[in-house]
């Protein structure tokens, strides 16, 4: 996994609530057997007409907006557990998703792919949308080390939560699986004492 360094970027606003993973990447694109290429179909049905031409009113088709940060309404990533949603967002080029609330499974999938979910208060989310509205090129700083998200134009900053373990993984580019593999002996001894009736 790629190491996560401090990011200074403009942001793409998506002020819609309850964005489910079927919108992020519709199921008909889940037939691929690799992790690559999903970014091309990110938000496909919001982004393209059935004939493949771009929908002018969708934010990703508006050249005014760009950046590595996606800012969305509350309960982002609800629904299906498909990790393809995280692959699609990363594949498109996002490194950070900001919302006032994330669905549990999406949050985990994002963190496992070096995509940082930044949960902020409703009022701060509103402030971010306002900053982008005032200037579509407004810059934001995402500092994982200090767990701070800053609106550069106003200087407003908010602290965000992340587990110390996941923070360490992101900063160093470690996967969970490396860690779990290192526990092999502990798992084996756990199995010795585990209720036999459960695993027979």
Partner 1 sequence: MGKTLFDKIWDAHVVTQVEGGADVLYIDRHFIHEVTSPQAFDGLRARQIPVLRPRQTVATADHNVPTRGQHLPISEQLSRFQVEKLTENCTEFGLELYGLGHHYQGIVHVIGPELGITRPGMTIVCGDSHTSTHGAFGCIAFGIGTSEVEQVLATQCVLQKKPRRMRITIDGQLQQGVLSKDIILYIISKLTASGGTGHFVEYAGSAIRSLSMEARMTICNMSIEMGARGGLIAPDETAFDYIRGRAFAPQGEDFEAAVEYWRTLYSDEDAVFDTEHRFRAEDIEPMVTYGTNPGMGIGISQAVPDVPAGSSEQTFQKSLSYMGLHSGEKMAGKPVNYVFIGSCTNSRIEDLRLVAAFVKGKKKADNVYAMVVPGSKQVEAQAKAEGLDLIFQQAGFDFREPGCSACLGMNEDKIPKGEYCVSTSNRNFEGRQGPGARTILASPLTAAATAIAGRIVDVRDTLN
Q: Pick the binder of partner 1 from 47, 65, 152, 176 (CB under 8 A).
A: 176
Say if CB 176 and CB 169 are below 8 A apart. Answer: yes
Q: Pick the binder of partner 1 from 71, 86, 98, 138 (CB under 8 A).
A: 86
According to the binding rule CB under 8 A, does residue 114 interact with partner 1? no
Q: Pick the binder of partner 1 from 4, 92, 94, 101 (CB under 8 A).
A: 101
Q: List beta partners, residue 14.
A: 72
Q: Pick the binder of partner 1 from 60, 131, 166, 170 (CB under 8 A).
A: 166
Binding mask of the shown chain, residues 115 to 154, with x at each position contacting partner 1 by CB under 8 A:
----------------------------------------
Tokens of 181: 């593999």
| Residue nearer to partner 1 on the CB measure, 57 or 155 | 57
d(CA 176, CA 58): 36
Backbone angles phi, psi at 9, to 5 degrees: -155, 160
H-assigned helices in 66-157:
84-92, 104-111, 122-134
Tokens of 168: 């360490």
According to the binding rule CB under 8 A, does residue 194 interact with partner 1? yes
d(CA 44, CA 28): 10
Tokens of 133: 């509205």
According to the binding rule CB under 8 A, does residue 62 interact with partner 1? no
According to the binding rule CB under 8 A, does residue 103 interact with partner 1? yes
Question: Nearest approach, Cβ of 14 to partner 1 (angstroms)?
Answer: 11
Pairing of strands 11-14, 148-151: unpaired
Which strands form 116-119's sheet, in the order they lie side by side? 11-14, 69-72, 96-99, 116-119
Q: Pick the binder of partner 1 from 2, 32, 37, 146 (CB under 8 A).
A: 32
Binding site for partner 1 (CB under 8 A): 15-18, 20, 22-23, 26-28, 30-35, 45, 50, 73-75, 78-84, 86, 101, 103-105, 108-109, 112-113, 163-166, 175-177, 179-181, 183-184, 186-187, 190-191, 194-195, 197-200
């Amino acid at each position: 996994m790629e190491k996560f360094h401090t990011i200074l970027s403009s942001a793409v606003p998506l002020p819609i609530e309850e964005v489910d993973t079927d919108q992020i990447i519709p199921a008909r694109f889940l037939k691929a057997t690799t992790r690559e290429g999903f970014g091309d179909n990110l938000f496909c049905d919001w982004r393209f007409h059935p004939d493949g031409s771009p929908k002018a009113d969708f934010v990703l088709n508006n050249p005014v907006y760009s950046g590595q940060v996606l800012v969305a309404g509350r309960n982002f990533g609800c629904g299906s557990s498909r990790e393809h949603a995280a692959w699609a967002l990363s594949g498109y080029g996002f490194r950070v998703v900001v919302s006032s609330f994330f669905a549990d499974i999406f949050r985990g999938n994002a963190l496992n792919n070096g995509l940082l979910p930044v949960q902020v208060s409703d009022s701060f989310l509103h402030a971010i949308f306002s900053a982008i509205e005032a200037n579509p090129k407004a810059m934001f700083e995402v500092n994982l080390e200090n767990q701070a998200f800053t609106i550069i134009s106003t200087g407003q900053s908010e602290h965000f939560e992340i587990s110390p373990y996941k923070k360490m993984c992101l900063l160093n580019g470690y996967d969970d699986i490396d860690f779990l593999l290192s526990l092999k002996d502990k798992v084996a001894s756990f199995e010795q004492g585990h209720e036999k009736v459960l695993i027979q």
